[in-house]
Homo-oligomer: A and B are copies of this chain.
Amino acid sequence: MRSFEVKNRTLAEDIKALRLITAIKTPYLPDGRFDLEAYDALVNMQIGDGVEGVIVGGTTGEGQLMSWDEHIMLIGHTVNCFGSSIKVIGNTGSNSTREAIHATEQGFAVGMHAALHINPYYGKTSVEGMVSHFEHVLPMGPTIIYNVPSRTGQDIPPGVIHTLAQSPNLAGVKECVGHARVVQYTENGVVVWSGNDDECHDSRWDHGATGVISVASNLVPGLMHLLMFGGKNPSLNSKLLPLIDWLFKEPNPIGLNTALAQLGVVRPVFRLPYVPLPRPKRVEFVNLVKEIGREHFVGEKDVQVLDDDEFILIGRY
């Protein structure tokens, strides 16, 4: 189900060159559907501050809470509105090979520039199964493999990546396992994006990583851009660490969702099983914004502490 139209020809090289990719938040309307106006505004803020790519429907964007038709629609929407300004990387991975194949085919058909693929989480499989899974989707287009054992329950061994690297479509790895693993790849010519905001500065400047696939850049895209492009900058890194630490106190995107709602950039609507951080943490966030400087954060409104009853939590949507 290939298309050879010019618009559907992105090279893995174009993806390999990206240093700052945001795992973009998906905002919701009060009934749980996507809030495309807020989404568009958010993507425009990313573009305006130098972000080069977005992961659509990643774990941060809550792809796991989307139906596939919503997911592919959001990829298609992003391509249509922003595809000439930013690279659109669809998280079309799944723990089901069938779903990964179907979604990846559809994602490339609607014009995404690259796919993000996870190893089969939860169900898991053998190393042979993992390789077979990836080999079913890799021929479809530029691909980033995502390794995050703390979510998947299973590490992708480097051998798997080196096998896949024989395909010209392997753009690189989003790696969360730490510097030693990063080096293991970068010394062997495999492009790496740090999947940990707290490590990305060092990964980039000390361990050969190309850049970061970031959660924090949803909030402070300009500062993350400086961190990735502006040369080694431990003081900026130190300044950001408390924010990053706050963001990941609970499983992501709980912190991010809470933060963007308090910045007035998205409505305070959560699709369950996500719930906002408790009030003391919400107060902490306002203080962090003041310390770092409101002007570095997305949005124009004053940051505020939202009350419990201002949040809408949705189970059916």
Using CB atoms and an 8 Å cutoff, list the residues of chain A in contact with chain B: 1-5, 7-8, 29, 31, 33-37, 39-40, 59, 62, 64-65, 68-70, 72-74, 76-77, 79-83, 95-98, 101-102, 105-106, 109-111, 120-126, 128-130, 132-133, 136, 149-154, 250-251, 254, 271-275, 277-278, 313, 315-317
Contact = CB atoms under 8 A, between A and B. Distances in A.
A110 B34 CA distance: 13
B98 A272 contact: yes
A254 B126 contact: yes
B316 A132 contact: no
B3 A36 contact: yes
A169 B132 CA distance: 41
A291 to B, nearest CB: 24
A250 B110 CA distance: 33
A106 B69 contact: yes
Most buried by B among A76, A83, A317: A76
A126 B313 CA distance: 14
Contacts of A4: 37, 40
Contacts of A64: 95-96, 120, 122-123
A275 B97 CA distance: 12
B76 A109 contact: yes
Contacts of A111: 76-77, 80-81
B106 A73 contact: yes
